[in-house]
Structure formats: structure tokens, C-alpha cells
Structure 1
Amino acid sequence: MTSGTQSQQIILNLENFPFFVGVVDPNTATELPSKLPFALLIDPKLAVPRLNLTPQIMDALDKAYGASSMLSTPLGESDLANYRMIEMLEKLKSIYGDDFKAKSFLEIGCGNGLLLNAVKQLGALVSGCEVGPQGKTASEKYDFQVVEPPLKASQFDAKFDCIFSYGCLEHVVDLEELFKSCRDILNEGGLFFHCVPNMDSSYTSKRLDELCHEHINYFTPRNSTRLLSCQGFSSVDSHLTTAGNEFFFWGYRDASKPLSWPGETETVLETETRKLTEFSYAIKSEVNHLSSSLERIYQRDESIGFYGGGVSLALLMPSIENVRFYDGDTSKHGKCWLNTLPPIQSPRDLKSDPVDNLIICPEHHYSKIINYLTNDIDIPESIKIIKLSEI
């Protein structure tokens, strides 16, 4: 863990926040808590918003990772996840170049191995790093090396030309050690390339969606590239994904650059603190607004469906008796967001058993979802479709 983090002042504090770790089987997730305290502060070295990790949270995360929890559908395993994988791969190719043949690539957090195998198919020599049983499964399925974290030079025979990740760095507890390890195993001039959730999106929307206990670090294009520049990488840059809720950032290993920390500059810490403080005030106001709006729907005795999420919103309801959850990803059907919530249903169930109100949670994919619901499924016109931001 980055030194000094836990002693810093907590800025955003949410009691009894959902312990959301992706879909769970209600029959096997009984050991996971439904709610835990959630608090963010500014790390004094990284100058990045970070979760205030308590022993209780660490214990719950260990259990979740041991069960191979995944917050989102693994890349390539649904239409939307396949789109995300293609965008990630195309951006990696545009930055690295088209010649992957015989070049060595390491993916941190390789998950099910689909993205890493796609890189292998381009001719690269690949290795992965993954915690939990899914790493072993990926290794056996695609025939490449997958090591358990923490990364060490002794785990590999040679250095890499590129180290990359998708949706991983936000989960890393000890970023300081990860950067050191990656510098040790990345060739001089090698590419360090990552895709992470965009905290600027949350700052703008004033929403809770991207906040969860599995996300330790909350990056923006500015604080991430600043961090890379301080940690031995040159020509750093970033680019938003098409949806804008995530972004790519990258740099090249440069041993000539002196190492430092962004937090050593007081004005940097002041700026990050101000942004998180403003967000904290806005979130409290938004929670009050959402609670009132959902209370009015409840008082009208109308049913509510949440599409693609809605965990934190459902827990603001006086009762979940008339609450349902839907998702277009078939792998989630029959499972639940929390073991205390109803199972996730197919949106096709809306044709025969509609709800009064359907709230679309992932607004960055709103157009695709509406097209799917109205054209592919043809849900009843009686259903009132509501953007999350318009509740």
C-alpha cells in the first residue's frame, strides 16, 4: 500500500455503501457482505483519489477475488464486451504499430485471456498476470504463461516490449510497487499502455455508478499521465474511449528520467483535493434528490426496472418489492448484483411482464440500449424509459 495513504483526511464518506463486485450467484455468495463503509481521500504521493482501505474491506475483497469476481462482463463475452475488446485492441495497435510479430507483450490482469490471445494471434509472444483461478484457466485454454501477482523479474526469462492492461490499474492496492516492477521488466523505450474508468465522467455526471470497493484508484486523464511522467515514462498521453466512461493512457520507458511523485507539488494536491471535495458535496445532494424521486415513484405504487445496474439506487428505495433488474448480457441472467437483491432478468421478459418505469443506468451506451430494446425486442410502449440523469 502506498505509504501514508490511510492517515490522510477522508473527503468523501458514504456509510453502508453496496459492496458491489459484479454479478454473484445468490447460493454461493453468502460470505460476501451486502454493504460496507466507502470513503475516498487523496493519496499524498500519487495525487490520485483512493479508497480508504480498512481491514474489513480488505477481507471482503480477498474473498471476492478468490471467487474470481468481475465487475463487468469479460472482454469478448457479449456484444458490448466484444466491442470494448476491439476498441482496446485497435487503440493498442495504433499506438504500438502493426508489427507485433515476435514482440513480447505482458497483460496485467489478463482475466479470461481473450484479449491476450487476440494479441498472440497478431504474432506476439505473450504472457499474463492474473489473480485467482481464471488465470490458470486462461493459461490452459490458450497455451501461454500466466503468473500470479505480485510481478517479479524472476518470473520471466526476458524483458517485455509492451506491458498493458484493461480495467486493472484501478484495482491495484500497491501502485508504487507495481510501477517499480514494471520498470524492471519493461525494455527501454517499451510501451506502458492501459485503459481505466474515467473519474472525470463521474465528476461531470455527479453519479455513484463508478464508485465501488473493488476500485482502489480513481484516475482521470490528467492525474494518470502526470503520474506516468513522474514514474519514469516519457511521451505520455491519453485518449477517451468512444463511450467516454473509460480512457486509454500510455508512456514509454525512459531510464533517463528521474523518479518523483506528483504529490510532491503542493498545488497538485490542492487541485485534486478541491475536485474531490466538490464531488463529495454534489454526491450528497444527488443522493437526496434520487431518494426523493424514487420515493415518489414508490408512493404511486409503480414498478421499477433498472437496466444495466442500479444497485446503489435500489438501496435508496423504501422497499425493493416492486423493483426488478435487467441486462442484455445473458451470462448475468439468474444471478444478482447483491445476494440481497432480486435476480437479473432478460430484457425479453419485459414483453410479457412489463414494468411501469425502466431506468437506463449506463447512459454512455444509451443509444445502443434503446435501439436494442425498441427494435430488437420491441418492448411495450406503455413502459416509461428514463435516463438515469433524468430521474
Structure 2
Amino acid sequence: MYAKSCRICSHKPLTQILKLGKIPLVNYFPVAKELSIKTKRYPLNFCLCEHCGLAQLDYVIPPRTLFKTYHYLTSASNSLIDHFHELASECVRRHFLKWGDKALDVGANDGTLLFEFQKRGIKTLGVDPSRNAVAVAQKRGIKIIPAFFGEKTAERIRARRGTFHVITGNNVFAHVADIKSFLKGVKILLEPNGVFIAEFAHVLEIIVKNQFDVIYHEHVSYFSLIALMKLFNMFNFEIFDAKKILTQGGSLRIYVRNKRKGEVSLNLKDLIREEEENHITEVTTLKRFSEEVHQFREDFCELIFKIKKKKKKIVGFGAPAKGVTLLSFCGIGASEIDYIVDSTFLKQGRFFPGIHVPVYAEEKLATDPCDYLILLAWNFQEEILNKIQPLREKGVKVIIPFPKLRVV
């Protein structure tokens, strides 16, 4: 359904910046018998609230539709396993957590971060609506409640488990349509001196690096620190630190506490200044971004069609959500891509959303070779390029779409 007003400040109307067409659910991979059913598609429009500066979608798919069948697993990426190892270590190093303390991970997926906390003597609990991911976590002995997080869920958790010293929300904060209920839940469950840590794709990186494929229906908000300062202030929270991280091609990690006297970090001040200098909450800046996205589509399609004209075989590497936006917006499908490989076992033996190209395990490349690989999971390019080095030595070329379109 279409949002009538901004999800932070309730201002209306929203200013439409970029129309990416209609795309399917990015994490629903149909099986063969479902291919005859017409794929449902939803409008994907990137908008701006000119009042508070929040970039957001104007069409929101109900969460129960989005996450009913979810084929993403954190543990499929070695880079993300390392990333959460670092986050857990940092929480202990910065004295946010000590042995015996309690941590809650919202959007816990398969429990990768919670497992890292447990190794450090932390008592853990997770919340996640994806039953597929929760089932994987439970097999590892990690307790995750299969539910959407908000005020009501938080009240139930507090009644049974009390409050938590650290609450994390990694690549989930931007997924929440009712962001106010989410923060009310954090308020209910966070210890008075506790810390809420969230990670999300930074709208500055999306705009400056033209990374429009990060835009899809699961990400209803595209946060800047400028907009977030206003949001957290409504709940008597404050961001006291922030830093850039490498996930999702360029993300932010923010550290939030209940308001109190105390300094905020110089790093936070520098990041806010960088946002202001790049004018990322202004319509003119975002309109330029829209123009660059359309230019990318021309360049990308020209490259793919030129390769196909030479009768070369193209395969996709990785089946991430961002790949659905990229291929749908550019009109690239089964005529151009023979198949896709992905390390997530839940996606293998199924078909890529919208274009219905088959998804296989990575071993398929050894038995059914190709001439070109498109790095759909380009945000893991270092990990993937190392993995496919033997193929490159045999002459396979790699198309890397972002942050700058190139062939290596």
C-alpha cells in the first residue's frame, strides 16, 4: 500500500525521486512447479521527505508478505561471519558487555551474531520473523523468537526475560515500516545505561556511489544521520558514536543511548558534516542521482547486449536481493543470463525472482563453464574474486556493476 506521509515526521506529500518500475519479492525464490503462476510485482519508488530529510519508499508491502518465505542466511557469507565476530569483540572491548550480561539481536536471522556473543559468555535472545532462518538457528541451539519486533513483542519479552545491556539491529532497522513502534520496543527493553547498535546502508554511499540496487521493498527507509538525529530525539535517545563499515557496499554503524550529559564522538560530528557538505537531503542532489541511475542502465545494457551479440555465455554470481532490483530495472533476464550460482542452500534448486533463471550451487561452474560472470553480490567482491581466481586464470571475465561498472 502507498504511504500517505513520512514515517518519521508525518509530513506529506513525499517527493518522488526515482521510479525503478515494478519488481517482485526479492527474497522469494520459486520452485519449478510455481513458474506457471504469474509473478506478482510491486511499484518501487524512491522518495524524499523534504521536511525531515528521510529518503524512503512510498509503497510498502505488508511485512507478513515480505518475510513469509525468506531465503537469506547470514552464515552463507564468510565476510559477514567475520563482520559479526568483530562486532561482538567490539562490544566487549568497549565495555558495552561483560561476561553474564544480556544481549538481544533484532532481525537475528540464523543466529550468527548471537553465536559470537555466546562464545564471549553473553546471555542471548533473538527475534526474527523468518521461520526458515529461525529453524536454522534453533538447530544450532540458539534461542530466537519467531516474531516481528515492536512495542507489543517487547512487552512480552520484558515480562519473561527482563531488560538487556545491548540491543542490536543489523541490516534490519531500515526494514521496519513502523519505526516508532520499533523504537518504543527498544526503549522498553534497553537497560538505563544500555546501548542500542544498528547497522544499515548509508544513504550517502547510495547516492555518491550510485548504488541504486540497494533500493528494494525490504528497505523501506534509507537513513542519514541528519534524519536519524531527529527520529531518536523523539524517544529521548541520542546517537553518541557512528562509523562507516564495509557491509552492503557502504553502511553505517550507529551507537545509541538514553539521553544524558556526556560528549558525543568526533567521528559522529565528522560524518554529519560530510552529509551536510554532500547535500544528501536536498531534492536537487537526489534528482542528479536519478539521472546517473538511468545513465548506468544504458551503459550496463549496452555492455550485456554487446557480449551476447558475440554469442558469449553469461552467468550470475550470487543471488542477493540487490540483484533483483538491478536486473529488473535494466530488463536483463533469461535471454541474457544462463543460470545463477549462490552459496545459500535455501536458494539452490529454485529460480531467481522475476526472471526465473535457475539457481545452483557454485560447483555448477566447474561442469557448465561460462565466458562472463556478473557479480550480483558485488559487495562481497573481494571474497568472490579470490574464490573464482582459478576460473579467471582460465579466461573467464568478471562484470562488476558497482561502485563503478567495469570488466576484470
* Same-fold status (TM-score > 0.5): yes
Change (3 A) 1:128 1:344: same
State the shift of 1:246 in Å.
2.5
User: Equivalents in 2 of 1:22, 1:326: separation in Å?
Assistant: 15
The aligned amino acid for 2:304 is: L
State whether residues 159 and 186 of structure 1, in contact with CA within 8 Å, keep that contact through their aligned partners in structure 2.
Answer: yes
Counterpart for residue 68 of structure 2: 66
- Any idea what SS the aligned residue of 2:388 has? helix
Counterpart for residue 260 of structure 1: none
Q: Which of 171, 180, 183 is the aligned partner of 1:167? A: 171
Change (3 A) 1:163 1:116: same
1:384 partnered with 2:397:
yes
TM-score, normalised via structure 2 length: 0.78
Counterpart for residue 191 of structure 1: 195
The aligned amino acid for 2:176 is: V
State the shift of 1:229 in Å.
5.4
Which aligned pairs between 1:104-253 and structure 2 lie closer than 5 A? Answer: 104-134=102-132, 137=135, 138=137, 142=141, 144=143, 146=145, 148=147, 149-152=149-152, 153-155=154-156, 156-157=158-159, 158-220=162-224, 223-224=227-228, 227-228=231-232, 231-234=235-238, 236-242=240-246, 244-253=249-258
The aligned amino acid for 1:150 is: G
Counterpart for residue 341 of structure 2: 327
Deviations 1:249-279, CA, capped at 9 Å, x for gaps? 112112689xxxxxxxxx99x8513343222
State whether residues 107 and 116 of structure 1, in contact with CA within 8 Å, keep that contact through their aligned partners in structure 2.
Answer: yes
Structure 2 spans left out of the alignment, 5+ residues:
1-6, 263-275
State the shift of 1:39 in Å.
0.6
Change (3 A) 1:21 1:125: same
**Greater mean alpha carbon deviation, residues 180-189 or residues 1-10:** 1-10
Counterpart for residue 3 of structure 2: none
User: Equivalents in 2 of 1:131, 1:223: separation in Å?
Assistant: 27
State whether residues 103 and 166 of structure 2, in contact with CA within 8 Å, keep that contact through their aligned partners in structure 1.
Answer: yes
The aligned amino acid for 1:245 is: G
- Any idea what SS the aligned residue of 1:83 has? helix
Q: Percent identity?
A: 16
User: Equivalents in 1 of 2:201, 2:357: separation in Å?
Assistant: 27
Change (3 A) 1:198 1:22: farther
State whether residues 193 and 257 of structure 2, in contact with CA within 8 Å, keep that contact through their aligned partners in structure 1.
Answer: yes
Deviations 1:333-390, CA, capped at 9 Å, x for gaps? 3223215421123343333432222222333432322221114xx4562322232212
User: Equivalents in 2 of 1:170, 1:5: separation in Å?
Assistant: 19
Change (3 A) 1:6 1:358: farther
Number of residue pairs matched?
A: 372
The aligned amino acid for 1:92 is: C
Structure 1 spans left out of the alignment, 5+ residues:
258-266
Counterpart for residue 4 of structure 2: none
State the shift of 1:27 in Å.
4.2
What RMSD over aligned residues (CA atoms) do the two structures have, in Å? 3.4
State the shift of 1:172 in Å.
0.2
State the shift of 1:313 in Å.
4.5
Change (3 A) 1:186 1:361: same
User: Equivalents in 1 of 2:395, 2:40: separation in Å?
Assistant: 33
State the shift of 1:194 in Å.
1.2
Q: Which of 282, 298, 302 is the aligned partner of 1:273? A: 282
- Any idea what SS the aligned residue of 1:192 has? strand
Change (3 A) 1:312 1:216: closer
Change (3 A) 1:189 1:318: closer
Change (3 A) 1:107 1:64: same
User: Equivalents in 2 of 1:320, 1:178: separation in Å?
Assistant: 39
User: Equivalents in 2 of 1:136, 1:317: separation in Å?
Assistant: 34
State the shift of 1:92 in Å.
3.3
Q: Which of 49, 53, 56 is the aligned partner of 2:55? A: 49
**Greater mean alpha carbon deviation, residues 161-170 or residues 25-34:** 25-34
User: Equivalents in 2 of 1:382, 1:135: separation in Å?
Assistant: 37
State the shift of 1:226 in Å.
6.0
Deviations 1:45-89, CA, capped at 9 Å, x for gaps? 7532111125xx33xx5323122x14x4x2334433422332332
User: Equivalents in 1 of 2:30, 2:255: separation in Å?
Assistant: 33
